[in-house]
Every structure is written in C-alpha cells, then in structure tokens.
C-alpha cells in the first residue's frame, strides 16, 4: 500500500504534478481561454503586461492568409499560460478546417505556442482556438 500527500510535512511538493492535476481537474481536460483577464496569476507576474491580454481574439481577412491572434491567457493541460504580444499565423491557401491552437511546449520552460497542428509535438498540451477555411486569397470562413 502507498499513501501520498503532496505537499505534506517533511516531504517536498512535486509542484508540476500537483499543479497539473489540480488545475486540469478544475478546468477540464481540454483547457480553456480566460475570457475575463487578467487573473490574479497574470496580475502578480511582473513579466506579463496584463493590460494587453485580450482572450486570444482573432483578426482575419478575405484578402490575406495571415490571421492575427491577440494576447491572452489560458489554462491548458494543467498549466496556466499567457502571452502578452500578438501572434501571426499563416494559413495554407484553398484549405478547409485549419485549426489554430494555443498551448505550451512540454520540453521548454515558459514557451507558449500559438499555431497550427504542425507547430506542436506529440506531448505538447494544446486547446483549440479557431478553425478556418481559405481560398487562394484569404479566409472565407
């Protein structure tokens, strides 16, 4: 039999395991974008410009294959993530169901990824932001 209490007296906390489990359980396994930013996590982080956070809103056009994703914060795969600068994602021409995700690199600290499936490795955690259809000139849907 094994008992574990994490953290507990005279036992160091396994912070990643504890946070990932509790946040994922509370937020659901698919993750979610924080709509009413900033959270306290963003506010207390001196590196994040919380005034810039805008729930990863998108801007697209029927005359461009580039879409712009605004700054935002989310809980994905048991981790809080935030990016306070916008990101440009270039879509393929004449392609339906191109999904843009937000997530994080499982192999690097403080690395938010916003992009298409090809930007992510198998173990990277992500959640869907938007799905796009394009023609030769830009976004159609």
Q: What confidence score (pLDDT) does residue 109 get? A: 87
Tell me which DSSP letter residue 47 carries.
Answer: T
Q: What is the mean pLDDT of residues 119-131?
A: 95
Two structure tokens written together for 73: 């914060």
Q: Which residues contact 75 (CB under 8 A, 6 or more apart)?
A: 23, 27, 31, 32, 34, 81
What does the pLDDT look like over 64-120, one tens digit per residue?
A: 999 999 999 998 887 889 999 999 999 999 999 999 999 999 888 899 999 999 999
Distance from C-alpha of 111 to C-alpha of 105, rounded to nearest angstrom: 6
Residue 5 has pLDDT above 70, yes or no: no
Angle at 117 between CA 97 and CA 29, to 5 degrees: 95
8 Å CB contact between 79 and 125: yes
What does the pLDDT look like over 27-62, one tens digit per residue?
A: 666 788 999 879 888 888 889 999 999 999 999 999
Query: CATH says 15-132 is which class?
Result: mainly beta
Coil, strand or helix at 98: strand
Distance from C-alpha of 100 to C-alpha of 88, rounded to nearest angstrom: 11
Q: What confidence score (pLDDT) does residue 36 get? A: 86
CA 79 to chain centre: 9
Q: What confidence score (pLDDT) does residue 10 get? A: 75
User: Any idea where the domains of the chain sit in the sequence?
Assistant: 15-132
Q: What confidence score (pLDDT) does residue 23 get? A: 65
pTM of the model: 0.85
| Mean of all residue pLDDT scores within the chain | 87
Q: What confidence score (pLDDT) does residue 111 get? A: 94
Residue 2 has pLDDT above 90, yes or no: no
């Amino acid at each position: 039999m094994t008992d574990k209490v994490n953290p507990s007296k005279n036992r160091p906390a396994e912070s990643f395991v504890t946070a990932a489990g509790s946040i994922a359980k509370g937020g659901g396994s698919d993750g979610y974008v924080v709509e009413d930013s900033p959270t306290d996590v963003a506010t207390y982080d001196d590196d994040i410009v919380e005034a810039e956070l805008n729930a990863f809103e998108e801007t697209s056009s029927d005359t461009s294959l580039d879409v712009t994703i605004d700054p935002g914060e989310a809980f994905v795969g048991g981790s809080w993530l935030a990016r306070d600068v916008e990101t440009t994602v270039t879509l393929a021409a004449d392609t339906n169901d191109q999904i843009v995700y937000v997530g994080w690199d499982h192999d690097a600290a403080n690395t938010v990824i916003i992009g298409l499936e090809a930007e992510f490795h198998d173990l990277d955690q992500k959640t869907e932001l938007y799905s796009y259809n394009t023609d030769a000139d830009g976004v159609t849907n």
